[in-house]
């Protein structure tokens, strides 16, 4: 059955939707319910055209070949939702400045290391907000062993995040004193993070539902507004893996509509609606 498409638009059938859905689930853990059939079309049809295919069927055959691996990655990028903002959910950053970073600073000054993780960082507003909070509560952090790991499955958004350059209008969500302290004008109407803060984040491509190469544990993990795209089983597996990566007494921050189900709390105590603390 062909969808409503006009001349030049690729063929798209129910079978194609089922195939994309299976790929998204297998490759990234992302689940598209039946109601997202049109959304999938609008996100993928451009890739189909740009890769030179007349139908989803032939495009999907191609991405599932060895030579189509690069296009498979572009397909997964096209399927992700990357909406984000600076200081989204302010309570998390207050908690960071007032509770997490002072403890991390004491640990680091005593010769330890300080690690934080933004686990689905999108275009970087989240890890740069974490970095600004670290700098506010611990100004000499860049002179110590402090790192903010910032990861996402989508290589395009990770490159954007690593550049640390944003349009002025997007930076409006940053408090004025932080903006003037940590950013400088860049190009025509842009702002760029500058100075020691640039040494704090380390940006990497990482699929939360694959193996994690990094070692060690984190004082806090921000895993926000990503598990909403996963099915229940994938979420539960992830909560357990994240809990394993927290220091005793470390914190997990989740998105405003996300909760760690009580059966999968794995040593995590809910201390605020979207903040969990791992038992010491």
We find the least distance from the C-beta atom of residue 212 to ligand SAM, in angstroms, to be 10
Query: Of 13, 25, 82, 194, which one interacts with ligand SAM (CB under 6 A)?
Result: 82
Give the ranges where the chain is alpha helix by DSSP (H): 14-28, 37-50, 56-63, 69-79, 90-95, 101-109, 125-137, 155-163, 176-182, 232-244
Instruction: For residue 25, state whether it binds ligand SAM (rule: CB under 6 A).
Output: no
* Residue 219, CA distances (Å) to 25, 198, 242 in order: 30, 20, 12
Catalytic residue among 74, 115, 152, 235: 152
Query: Of 149, 157, 242, 243, which one interacts with ligand SAM (CB under 6 A)?
Result: 157
Give residues 134-153 in contact with ligand SAM (rule: CB under 6 A): 152-153
* Residue 200, CA distances (Å) to 110, 174, 255 in order: 19, 18, 23
Annotated binding-site residue? 75: no
* Annotation says 152 is catalytic: yes
Instruction: For residue 30, state whether it binds ligand SAM (rule: CB under 6 A).
Output: yes
Give residues 181-210 in contact with ligand SAM (rule: CB under 6 A): 207-209
17 or 128: CB nearest ligand SAM:
128
Query: Of 16, 71, 126, 247, which one interacts with ligand SAM (CB under 6 A)?
Result: 126
SS3 assignment for 194-261 = CHHHHHCEEEEECCCCCCCCCCCCEEEEEECCCHHHECHHHHHHHHHHHHHCEEEEEEEEECCCCCCC
Give me the phi and psi of 239, to 5 degrees please: -55, -45
Give me the phi and psi of 15, to 5 degrees please: -60, -35
Catalytic residue among 16, 19, 21, 43: 43
Which residues contact ligand SAM (rule: CB under 6 A)?
28-30, 80-84, 88, 120, 122, 126, 152-154, 157, 207-209, 224-226, 229, 255
The catalytic residues are: 43, 152
Report the binding-site residues for S-adenosyl-L-methionine: 82, 84, 88, 126, 152, 207-208, 224-225
């Amino acid at each position: 059955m062909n969808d409503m498409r006009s001349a030049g638009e690729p063929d798209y059938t129910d079978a194609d939707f089922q195939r994309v859905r299976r790929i998204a689930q297998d490759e990234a853990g992302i689940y598209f319910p039946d109601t997202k059939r049109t959304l999938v079309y609008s996100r993928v049809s451009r890739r189909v055209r740009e890769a030179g295919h007349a139908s989803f069927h032939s495009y999907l055959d191609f991405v599932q070949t060895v030579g189509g691996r690069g296009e498979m990655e572009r397909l997964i990028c096209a399927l992700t939702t990357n909406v984000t903002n600076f200081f989204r959910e302010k309570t998390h950053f207050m908690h960071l400045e007032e509770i997490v970073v002072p403890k991390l600073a004491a640990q680091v000054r005593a010769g330890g290391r300080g690690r934080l993780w933004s686990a689905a960082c999108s275009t970087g507003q989240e890890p740069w907000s974490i970095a600004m909070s670290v700098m506010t509560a611990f100004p000499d952090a860049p002179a110590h062993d402090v790192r903010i790991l910032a990861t996402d499955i989508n290589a395009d958004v990770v490159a954007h995040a690593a550049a640390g350059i944003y349009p002025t209008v997007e930076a409006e969500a940053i408090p004025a004193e932080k903006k003037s302290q940590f950013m400088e004008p860049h190009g025509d109407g842009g702002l760029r993070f500058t100075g020691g803060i640039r040494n704090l984040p380390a940006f990497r491509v990482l699929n939360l539902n694959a193996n994690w190469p990094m070692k060690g544990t984190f004082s806090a993990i921000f895993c926000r507004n990503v598990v909403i795209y996963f099915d229940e089983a994938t979420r539960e597996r992830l909560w357990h893996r994240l809990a394993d990566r927290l220091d005793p007494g470390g914190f997990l921050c989740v998105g405003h509509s996300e909760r760690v189900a009580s059966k999968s709390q794995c040593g995590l105590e809910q201390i605020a609606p979207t903040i969990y603390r791992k038992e010491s």
